[in-house]
Amino acid sequence: MSKDVEFAIEELVKELALRLMEERGLSMKEALDTIYNSETYTKVLDLRTGLYSQSTAYVYSILETEILTGKLG
Torsion region of 50: left, alpha or beta (phi above 0 gives left; psi -120 to 50 gives alpha) = left
Nearest alpha-carbon partner for 34 in 63, 3, 62: 63
The SS3 of residue 31 is: helix
The 10s digit of each residue's pLDDT in 4-56 is 999 999 999 999 999 999 999 999 999 999 999 999 999 999 999 999 999 99
Q: Would you kindly state where each structural domain of the chain is located, as residue ranges?
A: 3-69
Q: Given CA atoms 23, 25, 28, 33 in this order, what sign does their dihedral have?
A: negative
Query: What's the confidence (pLDDT) of residue 35?
Result: 97
pLDDT of 69 strictly over 80: yes
Beta strands in 1-73 (DSSP E): none
pTM over 0.75: yes
